Amino acid sequence: MSAESAPSAGAYIGHHLTHLQNKPMSGVIDFSVFNLDSMFWSLLLGVVGSLLLWKAARNVTSGVPGRFQAAVEILVEMVDNQAKGIVHNAESRKLVSPLALTVFVWIFLLNSMDFLPVDLFHKVFEWTGLDHSIHYFRVVPTADLSSTLGMSTSVLLICVFYNIKIKGIGGWFHELTTAPFGSHPILWPFNFVFQMIEFVAKTVSHGMRLFGNMYAGELIFMLIALMGGAAAMSLTGILLPIGHVIAGSIWAVFHIMIVALQAFIFMMLTLVYIGQAHDAH
């Protein structure tokens, strides 16, 4: 591709940050629009994660475990220890511990899609002739705000479930109207509004934290890719390919920690919020 026909940096980034959708959006918020690429990868990697865990459980042995079984056992023990320290109800942990494990594995796999080359699928679509029908395609579902807010909203619904299950509808309503300012009837509306704000703030921040980190990571990978593109079109830009390799290698190593850390943080906040649903004010 010549320098004249190559897209600008802004056009390149804008193209890679646009989702494959069922229809164009009619406004800033349009709930009839679905990001088909995020849905596809979320479902696919959810199935892959479930199959991996199922395979580990199916092939478990009492003798010396293999590397895969040992890794899964370490992960399960880590998640279970965290759940025991936060959710003290043993009956609830029968569901909460596997839920936390699923959240960690699923988000780790979703985040790991960021390690794929930026232009990989677009090149595949060009080679197969699908680029005429699939012009936009993103592969990191956790860099999609609708995906991360959907996950955090699911956690909110689980918290509501445990609030009602543990405290009863009457007990939870009493907590909503008497905490944190006191049980005087004049304070009931203020307590309720404060509680609703807290629920909304926790849910939004839970999803935004994961989205923000993965979106920034995806953007940096694109900027590094642009360095390589500039190097390919410049005969004198000797430092660009060197910088491209160095920056890409350093960021890839650093991003490995981010991928695992963000999955761990989302899992821990899920446990914390569910644990708070078990506590009475």
For residue 48, what is the enclosing H or E element?
A: helix 36-58
At 250, the amino acid letter reads: I
Structure-block tokens of residue 217: 């990571």
Beta carbons within 8 Å of 215's beta carbon, 6+ residues apart: 143, 145
Beta carbons within 8 Å of 120's beta carbon, 6+ residues apart: none
Cis peptide before 98 (omega within 30 of 0): no
Q: Are 138 and 37 in contact (CB under 8 A)?
A: yes
Of the listed 22, 59, 205, 234, which one is catalytic?
Answer: 205
Does 50 participate in catalysis according to the annotation?
Answer: no
User: How far is residue 233's CA from residue 8's CA, in Å, rounded to a whole number?
Assistant: 13
Q: Are 95 and 271 in contact (CB under 8 A)?
A: no
**CB atoms < 10 A from the CB of 184, how many?**
10
- β-strand partners of 21: 35
Does 89 participate in catalysis according to the annotation?
Answer: no
- β-strand partners of 266: none
User: How far is residue 138's CA from residue 131's CA, in Å, rounded to a whole number?
Assistant: 13
Does 5 participate in catalysis according to the annotation?
Answer: no
**CB atoms < 10 A from the CB of 50, how many?**
13
User: How far is residue 166's CA from residue 92's CA, in Å, rounded to a whole number?
Assistant: 10
Catalytic residues: 205, 209, 213
